[in-house]
Structure 1
Amino acid sequence: MEKEARILVVDDEERIRRLLRMYLERENYDIDDAENGEVALELAQQNNYDLILLDLMMPGIDGIEVCQEVRKTKATPIIMLTAKGEEANRVQGFEAGTDDYITKPFSPREVVLRVKALLRRSSSTKFLETETSTKDVLVFQHLTIDNDAHRVTVNGTEISLTPKEYELLLYLAQSPDKVFAREQLLKDVWNYEFFGDLRTVDTHIKRLREKLNRVSPEAASTISTVWGVGYKFEAVKE
């Protein structure tokens, strides 16, 4: 039977790696694991994983640094695992490019459900349901968002986005010219209430603009900053 997806599990505790492997393999996932950040980086750079489960607190290279390095070249969905539930750690993980966040101790069943949910949202996995006659498409002058296929193209070139980058772009583009405060974006895109540091939104907007700008500065300019308020998507539809 063909494996459903290939997942990298990274944690310095062997019992956690073993537990996650057991539950994920029951779902027919193909699992690799790493006990530290150095090995994780090497594996992540050598292979194309569908998802990475990444421990935050590890000796040597920690999960934040691993995530930052992976994000330089890949849009692999990442779920951060951490024993720390404080807001600062959550913010740090999201700023590094994490797509989801699970606090230890966790239920293995919850992890499996979160993995399945993120794979469904991912633009790089076969879990996505696509149709030959796509209906849910937003077409702008330099940018097309095919929501059925979770695909973004800029002047005909497909852009590789993380699930969270895709969700953020789609959310803005579905309401052109509407200004969204950072707090609103955090609540609706991240499903999380922040009461302080809002850099997560700024970091993702910056990363999104950079990816669009590599193909088209005009496409990147559709995401506008409204100083003192937040962001909006402004573009002329085709």
Structure 2
Amino acid sequence: MKNNKLKLLVVDDDSEIRHLLKQYLQKTEFQVSVVADGQEMFSILREESFDLIILDLMLPGEDGLSLLRRLRADSNTPVIMLTAMGEETDRILGLEMGADDYISKPFNPRELLARIKSVLRRASMSDDTSSNAKTIRAEFSNWVLNFQQRHLTSPEGVVIPLSDGEFQLLKVFIDNSGRTLSREQLLNLTQGRESDSFDRSIDVLVGCIRKRLDETPKNLKILHAVRSEGYLFSPLVKFY
């Protein structure tokens, strides 16, 4: 009988956390493998494919950020990072490197399960968008977002790859061009969850998109911050 369960890989050097997550997540709809470090992670990835990876930031030897950088060189597998509460800088770096979400330790397994489902749902929606021939690209201010290849093309013709988080957020802005969206709305539309007082992921991703668009604080022509309200994507958009 074929196993249709989605496959998760947990990478954490804490044996108690590995055991807890494997026991809990296997009781839901997932097939779960666990490893203790980056060497074991890449060893199992050479043999198997996974639908999502849960990656601890603090690992013996090569840390989670370095492993994420290596992984993103040739893989778009969704990644949720496990971080300590005070590691805000590393969380920001993780998002910039292409992590899809993060959750701080200690965490409630039910919250992690909700994050997993949200990330997998977004990945599935991205696949659906990529296969939809009716929506191929969006053009704005001489930039082009390709929905199938999930990259930007600059006015000079330079192709710029996007992380999943950057793609999802830019797509939401494009779909809501001319409308100011709050951080809470953006977080809900891109990640399917509510904001908390420590969550800066939207601001980080906005900064990443601005870098892609070559915008500086003194040269904001496309993506604007609206005081006390959120962000505004201002260009007219054409869909092809």
Q: Under TM normalisation by the shorter chain, which class is it?
A: 0.5 to 0.7
- Contact 1:122–1:162 (CA<8 Å) still a contact in 2? no
Does 2:186 correspond to 1:188? yes
**Cα distance in 2, alignment partners of residues 40 and 71 from structure 1:** 14
Task: Please give the alpha-carbon distance, in whole angstroms, between the structure 1 residues aligned to 2:152 and 2:199.
Answer: 35
Contact 1:50–1:124 (8 Å) recurs in 2: no
Q: What is the one-letter code of the residue matched to 1:16?
A: I
C-alpha distance after superposition, 1:195-216 (max 9, x if no partner): 999655444565xx5xxxxxxx
Q: Which moved more, 1:102-111 or 1:194-203?
A: 194-203
CA separation in 2, counterparts of 1:179 and 1:107?
33
* Corresponding letter in the other structure for 2:28: E
TM score, norm. by length of structure 1: 0.67
Q: Give unpaired runs (5+ residues) of structure 1.
A: 210-222
8 A contact 2:6–2:51 mirrored in 1: yes
Change in Cα spacing, 1:68 to 1:45, as seen in structure 2 (3 Å) is: farther
Cα gap change, 1:178/1:113 in structure 2, threshold over 3 Å: closer, same or farther? Answer: closer
- 2:20 matches 1:51: no
In structure 1, C-alpha distance between the alignment counterparts of 2:151 and 2:93, rounded to whole Å:
29
For the Cα contact (< 8 Å) 2:21–2:109, is it kept in 1? yes
**Residue number in structure 2 paired with 1:237:** 239
1:140 maps to which of 138, 142, 145: 138
Contact 1:123–1:163 (Cα < 8 Å) also in 2:
no
Letter in 2 for 1:55: D
Question: How far is 1:86 from its partner?
Answer: 3.9
Structure 2-normalised TM-score? 0.67
How far 1:74 moved relative to its partner?
1.2
CA contact (8 A) 1:52 1:77 kept: yes
TM-fit CA distance, 1:101: 1.1
User: Residue by residue, what CA displacement relative to the aligned partner does 1:58-111 show, whole Å, maximum 9, x if unpaired?
Assistant: 111111111111111111111111233342232222222211111111112221
- 1:120-159 correspondence runs (5 A): 120-123=121-124, 137=135, 139-140=137-138, 143=145, 145=147, 152=150
Between the two proteins, what is the percent identity of the paired residues? 32
Matched residue count: 209
